[in-house]
Amino acid sequence: MEKYSSEEFIDNYIKNSFNLKLLDRICKKIDVVKSVKKFYTKDFEKTISEEEISNKHYIKLLNILIDTSEFKTLNSALKLNEILFHLSIIDFKKYLINVKIIEGGIDEKLK
């Protein structure tokens, strides 16, 4: 079975329709499993490793979710922000800043 690196996807992310589909699948991992593993099948459907992506990649992923600025990604960004705070990957100040940025993105989408 061919494996696909989540970290490589995050490092090389370019917003296009194909990557948005994969990002949507990563959002499901955040929403349901509350973590992103290092390796999945090429379509991000099945987990191949139990090891999570690095803290650096979680932060990069959070920024990608915010920058993509779709309702789905912003919702997952809120959840990931909460997870990162509880895991002490980000501090309370950064958590609050992220919440304001994400909520601002949601407000923009509602206009």
For 5-23, the pLDDT digits (tens) are 999 999 999 989 999 999 9
Mean pLDDT over all residues of the chain? Answer: 94
Range of the domain at 67: 3-110
pLDDT band at 111 (very low <50, low <70, confident <90, very high): confident
Whether the per-residue pLDDT at 42 is higher than 90: the answer is no
pLDDT band at 86 (very low <50, low <70, confident <90, very high): very high
Residues 6/57, Cβ–Cβ less than 8 Å = yes
Which is more confident, 44 or 76?
76
- Residue 55 φ then ψ, to 5°: -60, -40
Beta bridge partners of 35: none
The mean pLDDT value for 82-102 works out to 97
The mean pLDDT value for 66-90 works out to 96
Number of domains in the chain: 1
pLDDT of residue 63: 97
pLDDT of residue 81: 98
Whether the per-residue pLDDT at 37 is higher than 90: the answer is yes
